[in-house]
Amino acid sequence: MKLYYYVHTGHRIGLDRFRRAAAIIRALGDIDITLLTSDYRIASECKNFGIKRSIGVDVVRGIPLVAERGDKLIFDSAEHNPLLLDDMTKYFSSFIRISDDPDDTKHPGEFLINPYLEGEGIGNGIVVDDSYFGEFEKTIERAFFFGDDDYEEDLRLSRVLTESIWQIF
């Protein structure tokens, strides 16, 4: 019986789920986990984040082509529906789903991890990598990170923000 961790992530939709997966896999230590990711580029870079094995999976319905009935799955994706969740909970002996949607509901047969929900079969918490804890010397006074893509327009620079950045320099 194998343990898989599926994350729906990519440069177009964001890398937050991958970062969370890397933190969880590192925290689980010596447990043998294979990361399944919807982005082959991320699958090829996983070793740089402490993940030993990774496989690129084109679509979520391709997971059973890699896993076998009775394996275990941690599922971190918003690309689900009740039929898919039914199939996954029947196919895998353990099915753990991670969600950060405050309006989500627990599906029968799954264990849900969600920071907004509480109840039977729900783990309430937020994943934070151990590397953020400790004493650190600040060596860079200020740093700004800019990317070449912002498809959801999360980082729209307003005139005020742009002016305040230039005042710093």
Percent of the chain with pLDDT over 70: 83
> Would residue 106 count as lying in a domain?
yes
In a domain, residue 42? The reply is: yes
pTM, two decimal places: 0.79
Q: Are 168 and 30 in contact (CB under 8 A)?
A: no
> Cα–Cα distance between 155 and 4 in angstroms, integer?
33
Q: What are phi and psi of 72, to 5 degrees?
A: -115, 145
CB-CB contact of 42 with 15 (8 Å): yes
Domains identified in the chain, total number: 1
Mean pLDDT over the full length of the chain: 86
Do 95 and 79 contact (CB within 8 A), yes or no?
no
Domain that holds residue 114: 3-131
Categorize the per-residue pLDDT at 144 as very low, low, confident or very high, splitting at 50, 70 and 90: low
Tens digits of residue pLDDT in 102-121 = 999 999 999 999 999 999 99
Q: What is the CATH number of the domain that holds 117?
A: 3.40.50
Q: What is the pLDDT of residue 162?
A: 60
